[in-house]
Chain A
Amino acid sequence: MFGKIVFATSGAPDCDSAARVAFDMAGRYGSEIVVFHCLGIPGKGDSNLVLDVRTGEEVDPDEEYLEGVREELRTTYAIQLSACKNARIEIAVGNPSREVLRAARKEDADLIVMGARRAGVEVGGFYRRGVIGGTHRKVAKAARCPVLTVSRPAASFWGGFSNIVFATDFSKASQSAFKLAQSITRDVDGELHLFHCLDLDRLQSPIALTQEGIEGRLAEARRKIQVEYAAKLGDLAKRASIEVWEGSPYVEIVKFARERQADLIVMAHHTRNVDPDEGPDERPFGSTLEQVLVRATCPVVSVNRPDKLPEASEA
């Protein structure tokens, strides 16, 4: 399904769940896997020193240091690497989000797998902007290929993906996400749950909304899902369901996924109005995807563009 996976990792325990999913997928689908690590942010003007993204210390990225980092990654993922026929380690120096994107482009990756760093990790001001959240946001926004994020232990994945939730806001980007959800469902012979949440926060004050008004909109959204997605499913339709809820989209998506015991959520990033360079304090309350990433109990795959969607294998 995904010929080449770039697994972007800090090498820290934060990425363990993502590692498990990435290597498991590579094994299951026979994918080539590139374990990619960006070790440091260039610092100090034109000097050769970089600031190690994990320790915050100034380091010299000479061959010896790079080999040390490689060795550490080899040790961290020793078991997975030994079980994986087609795996290699690549490291780079630069801004993490940029380097992950660069690697994905260079490798012509079909999928990027990332962990999401837990909130509350103590880091200096300089890094907070570049690494925490920002890395993920920038990669998810700009990548041409799908980005799979695993922020929590994904126990259900041991059985493979089978229960897939596709959450849509009917945007153009969601079209690409739908195609991806369709391909995956077909490929894993799973079930597909088409879901939309009527965003009450973005409508006029809920007090002013009558119950009839809400129900009317729900019915309209159901019809829209039917026309825009379900009608295009073909033979997959018999394994699909449609659901429309109202509330705050990220909460409802996570709740719905939990209720359906989903083991994968597919959605678009679609945050044109959010500037990834804004500091955390200036940011509007996180985008739906970001909140789903943080909260979902299963992996989440996002895609905005049609460029690198996997071809479903023969049904």
Chain B
Amino acid sequence: MPEGIYCNKQPITTDEALKALLSDTRGKKYYEEMESLEVDREKLWSSIQKTMKSRMKTWLSVCARCGLCADSCFLYLVNDRNPEQVPSYKIHSTLGEIIKRKGDVDNAFMRHAMEVAWSQCTCCNRCAMYCPHGIDIGIMMGYLRGLLYSQGFVPWELKIGAGMHRVYRAQMDVTTEDWTETCDWMAEEQQDDWPGLEIPIDKEDADIMYTCNAREPKHYPEDLAEAAILFHIAGENWTVPSEGWEQTSLAMFAGDWEACKLQVQNVYAAIERLRPKRVIGTECGHAHRATVVEGPYWAGRPDGQPPRPYIHYVQWVAEALRTGKLKIDPTKRIKVPVTYQDSCNYVRNWGLAETAREILSYIVEPGYLREMTPNKEHNYCCGGGGGFNGIGKFRPQRNKALLTKRDQILATGAKLVISPCHNCWDAIRDLEEEYRIGIDWSFLKPLLIKMVVVPEHLKPKDDDGDA
């Protein structure tokens, strides 16, 4: 069978196609069809010739298989140091092999490569820190994912996720109407407690344009309300765009480069339309990588930068605390043993380790911070990065991958994990559900709201009853 009804090389571009694929519970038929999906060898090889640039060629050729990357990989460690989990082996036995064979690979090979690309690597880029040549297997794995996606060998959930971006420009089926309605709803819900609070939509020339993760309007609109409350307390002149508000990119996890470009262009168009002084993204790691770190290249921006300065939420929080826009009530600081989960995508890929620590210095009572070992740029992936969290087929592997983070957290003795990244937040929630170690986990926003000093003029004026 060249292509299946569910599993094929065509990207999802319509709502009907999305619904049809979703109706295939857990991708049962999809994966059945994948077993006989034909590899278009010619296309695969020609695509490699067109897209594989000198950096990747150099990396593959200079890799001496020295194995220094082995211990850097938490998946290698957690899988009893299985040699097949050595990063350099993982990439040479997949991408390297495809190139060696000039694309002449079969279906079984591609399915194996898919398993390696999505269940043995979270693209956390930690190996690159330890490679004497600076070879980044995570980047190459991303490239491999793109090749696999173009041939239809992609996990079911990520095919859907990339399709969502193509159809809705969001990782979930949140329409413009749903989004603006949610903004109105959340502003309205908060106005009793926060008189004058607004979520301004499409305000031009604001100081800040805020972008978020589609899961927020879809399932956790409180997150948007919390962002609004903190901007309100800080006295920021801010806005959200009616279009181009979704910052995440499951398409990046899927290796759907075209959808990545469409998604990020949508955000950039909003920036150009509204001309904010700068843009702030929500507490999400991969969203930052997709829109700020890699996005400019997908969108073909010559300077490698988004249209306006674009910062991560922890950067705004640190700045607001530093400049006194947000003041913390010292009596309300965190007084339980607490640790911080460094998200690979904005710590290792964007250098925000110290920025995050600056925030902790304001919100944690001295003596209560228990750093994980290792930490900052050397921290391990939460165990669910790179799309790993969402792929049902690889759940057993994912659950095992959570062990590293579980043990790191246990060793700190912390009861609370601060995690300004949706993906890490999910992974930590899941590891608690899976292994029951008795921890709590939180984004920054709800913690800040509990301890920030509310200026008198922002407090509600009505009486509180006298009894």
Which residue from B157, B446, B467 sits with its C-beta under 8 Å from A198?
B467
A221/B467 contact (C-beta < 8 A), A44-B390, A47-B392 known: yes
- Contact count band on A: 35 or more
Stretch at the interface among A75-83, A115-123, A269-277: A269-277
A126 interface residue per 8 A CB criterion:
yes
**Chain B contact surface mostly:** helix
Q: Roughly how many angstroms separate A189 CA and B375 CA in the complex, as a whole number?
A: 69
What distance in Å separates the Cβ of B317 from its nearest Cβ neighbour in chain A?
19
B250, A46: Cβ atoms closer than 8 Å: yes
- A105 lies within 8 A of chain B by Cβ: yes
Q: Map CB proximity to A onto B169-192 as digits: 1 under 8 Å, 0 otherwise.
A: 001000000000000010011001
* Chain A residue at smallest Cβ distance from B185: A105
A124: chain B residues within 8 A (beta carbon) = 433
Whole-angstrom distance between the Cβ of B19 and the nearest chain A Cβ: 9
A223 contacts the other chain (Cβ, under 8 Å)? no
Q: Which residue of B lies closest to A198 (CB)?
A: B467
From A45, A169, A305, give the contact of B467 (CB < 8 A): A169
Q: Is B218 an interface residue (CB 8 A)?
A: yes
A275→B442 CA distance, assembly (Å)? 15
Convert A238-281 into 0s and 1s, putting 1 for each residue whose CB lies closer than 8 angstroms to a CB of B.
00000000000100000000000000000000101001010100
Question: Do A270 and B465 have beta carbons less than 8 Å apart?
Answer: yes
Do B185 and A171 touch (CB < 8 A)?
Answer: no
Instruction: Tell me how far the C-beta of B358 lies from the nearest C-beta in chain A, rounded to whole angstroms.
Output: 25
Residues of A within 8 A of B390 (CB): 44-47
- In whole angstroms, how far apart are the Cα atoms of A169 and B161 in the complex? 50
8 residue pairs of the A-B complex, CB under 8 angstroms, read A44-B395, A47-B392, A98-B221, A98-B222, A169-B465, A170-B463, A170-B465, A277-B446
Known: A170-B466, A272-B464. A62 touches B391 (CB 8 A): no
Interface of A is mostly: loop
**Does B464 lie within 8 Å of A171, measured CB to CB?**
yes
Give the interface segment out of B21-29, B31-39, B272-280, B307-315. Answer: B21-29
Question: Closest approach, in angstroms, between the C-beta of B353 and any C-beta of chain A?
Answer: 24
A126–B426 alpha-carbon span in the complex (Å): 12
Question: Are A46 and B427 touching (Cβ within 8 A)?
Answer: no
CB pair A197–B467 under 8 Å, yes or no, is: yes
* Closest chain B residue, CB of each to CB of A126: B433
**B140 is an interface residue with CB less than 8 A from chain A:** no
> Are B23 and A63 neighbours in the complex by a CB distance under 8 Å?
yes
B219, A170: Cβ atoms closer than 8 Å: no
Residues of B within 8 A of A95 (CB): 219-220
- CB contacts under 8 Å to B, within A30-74, are 42-49, 60, 62-64
Contact between A48 and B220, CB atoms less than 8 A apart = no
Q: How far is the CA of A34 from the CA of B423 in the complex (A)?
A: 35
For A110-141 the 0/1 string (1 means CB < 8 A from B) is 00000000000000111000000000000000
CA distance A94 to B173 in the complex (A): 14
For residue B16, CB closer than 8 A to chain A, the reply is no
A42 touches B450 (CB 8 A): no
Q: Which residues of B contact A49 (CB under 8 A)?
A: 392
Partner of A98, one of B219, B388, B450, B463: B219
Given A44-B426, A45-B389, A105-B185: A249 and B467 within 8 A (CB)?
yes
**B188 — which chain A residues lie within 8 A by C-beta?**
144
CA of A95 to CA of B223, assembled, Å:
13
User: What would 18 more interface pairs be, CB under 8 Å, given A47-B390, A170-B463?
Assistant: A42-B215, A42-B219, A44-B390, A44-B430, A45-B388, A45-B426, A47-B391, A48-B22, A48-B160, A49-B392, A63-B23, A102-B185, A126-B433, A142-B189, A169-B467, A196-B467, A202-B467, A279-B440
Does A272 contact B460, Cβ atoms closer than 8 Å? yes
Give the contacts of B202-232 with A (CB-CB under 8 A): 215, 218-222
Task: Please indicate the chain B residues that have their CB under 8 angstroms from the CB of A28 in the complex.
Answer: none
* A33 CB to nearest chain B CB (Å): 23
Closest to A46 in B: B390
List A contacts of B466 (CB < 8 A): 169-170
* Smallest CB separation, A222 vs chain B (Å): 13
- Inside 8 A of B200's CB, which chain A residues have their CB? none
> Quick check: is B193 within 8 A (CB to CB) of the other chain?
yes
